[in-house]
Amino acid sequence: MEYKDYYKIMGLDRDATEDQIKRAYRKLARKYHPDVSKESNAEALFKDLGEAYEVLKDPEKRAAYDQLGANWKAGQDFHPPPDWNTGFEHSGAGFTGGEADFSTFFEELFGRDFRSGHTGRRQAGGFHARGEDHHAKILIDLEDSFNGAKRSITLRAPEMGSEGQVYLKERTLNVTIPKGVKAGQHIRLAGQGNPGMGEGKPGDLFLEIEFKPHPIFTVNGQDLMVDLPVAPWEAALGAKVKVPTPAGIVDLNIPAGSNSGQKLRLKGRGLPAKKPGNLIAVLQIVVPPATNDEAKKLYKEMKQKLKFNPRAKLGV
């Protein structure tokens, strides 16, 4: 996927004001409109211009895009970091891409997070509008889901300055992380979205849960995965070994004749729930190094006595 430098496409500095963005768009739209432009690639340039304007004219999309940083170059191979928009609070409204053919780059950044949103409606007795719901992604520790926790989080929301420039305003909230919450689930904070108009109620804030990378475990739905190193003799002869879980160390029986990559299940040791997930231990056979004469002698004896061909199934 190619990175698109929207500022370069519009010929703007990254601190451009709202008025400068509008003027640049009007000028370039006339220049590159396929009906009047003599440029051979006018249609592609006009499409890129429309996409850049869609992002930079909208304070929320622009602020989110700016979080990617200024070190990327146009056309460079790009994959957004998984936490690129963590803590970024936005309404989710204002996406107009239903009829537009935007790039994969645009869809990857904004296609999911910026399609939702709540708009107010007119009611009898005057104009009353419920405030817009806000959305943000937060990263939590795996242990927070396993045990439940109370955390203080800081969110950044875009606001328009007096000179038409976008800046991020921070706010801090105390959040209860429910026990057993999974990645992709949302925590709803009632009344923490935009204030309503008239007698309209304020919107809500929805926090999408993502897990921070864990040094030992990976998460697969409700299950936890752990790579478990075992010695060759433990795999060959069978053994009882210690395995870490979020709740502490437990024993696991390794069946004789186990192979590297084999999965062993510890039932109910995954994320807590009405039906708890499991802990899946993936065996990784670790070969001792032959760093001294005694070890080398043992390996030579194994080679002579076992007559083992690990590539027999390949016919070689």
User: What proportion of the chain, given as a percentage, has pLDDT over 90?
Assistant: 58
CATH classification of 217-306 is 2.60.260.20, yes or no? yes
Residues ≥6 apart with Cβ < 8 Å to 135: 89, 90, 91, 92, 113, 116, 205, 206, 208
> What's the CA gap between 4 and 52, in Å, rounded?
8
Whether the CB-CB separation of 180 and 145 falls below 8 Å is answered with yes
Four-point Cα dihedral 287, 293, 298, 299, nearest 10: 50
Predicted confidence (pLDDT) at residue 158 exceeds the cutoff of 90: no
Q: What is the pLDDT of residues 238-272, one digit of tens each?
A: 999 999 999 999 999 999 999 999 999 999 999 99
99-140 pLDDT per residue, tens: 457 888 888 888 655 654 444 444 444 566 888 899 999 999
Q: Is 61 helix (H, G, I), strand (E, B) or coil?
A: helix
Provide, rounded to the nearest whole percent, the portion of the chain with pLDDT above 70. 91
pLDDT tens-digit series, residues 197-233: 777 888 899 999 999 999 999 999 999 999 999 999 9
pLDDT band at 176 (very low <50, low <70, confident <90, very high): very high
Domain spans, the chain: 217-306
Contact by Cβ (8 Å): 8, 65: no
Neighbour-count burial of 231, counting CB atoms closer than 10 A to its CB (0-12 exposed, 13-18 middle, 19+ buried):
middle
What is the distance between the alpha carbons of residues 121 and 228, in angstroms, rounded to a whole number?
Answer: 56
> Tens of pLDDT along 132-146?
899 999 999 999 999
